[in-house]
Amino acid sequence: ETGVTQTPRHLVMGMTNKKSLKCEQHLGHNAMYWYKQSAKKPLELMFVYNFKEQTENNSVPSRFSPECPNSSHLFLHLHTLQPEDSALYLCASSPSRDSSGANVLTFGAGSRLTVL
């Protein structure tokens, strides 16, 4: 497989469930990101990891718990979510630093989450 792969593509969960989203990249990148895309809102950055270390947390509620065991894998653990957390969750990766300044993010296809 190539690029950035996200699983599952669709997830329906109740507010008391615990579930996880998985992201895997085969691009040799060292930075990984979680973004949230809600209807009629711009993409919101949630977390950034560089070389497995979390370097940015954009004031995300603790019911979202990220995990980055290595530079190729990123998880988002979900617990006690609310209906307003229903959204498309996009994972991305990039070189940790790009001297050209471009540092293009490569995105996965997203995990569509519905919280009942």
- Measured from the CB atom, the residue of 18 and 114 that comes closer to another protein is 114
Distances (CA, A) of 98 to 27, 70, 95, 102: 14, 20, 6, 7
Residue 104 C-beta: closest distance to another protein, Å: 5
Residue 43 C-beta: closest distance to another protein, Å: 4
- Measured from the CB atom, the residue of 75 and 107 that comes closer to another protein is 107
Tell me whether residue 50 is exposed, middle or buried, using C-beta atoms within 10 angstroms of its C-beta: 0 to 12, 13 to 18, 19 or more: middle
How big is the chain, counted in residues? 116
User: What residues line the site for another protein (CB under 8 A)?
Assistant: 31, 33, 40-43, 45, 48, 50, 55-56, 88, 90, 92, 94, 100-110, 112
Per-residue tokens: 34 = 């979680």
- Measured from the CB atom, the residue of 16 and 39 that comes closer to another protein is 39
Distances (CA, A) of 90 to 9, 46, 77, 93: 10, 10, 14, 10
Residue 40 C-beta: closest distance to another protein, Å: 8
- Measured from the CB atom, the residue of 8 and 14 that comes closer to another protein is 8
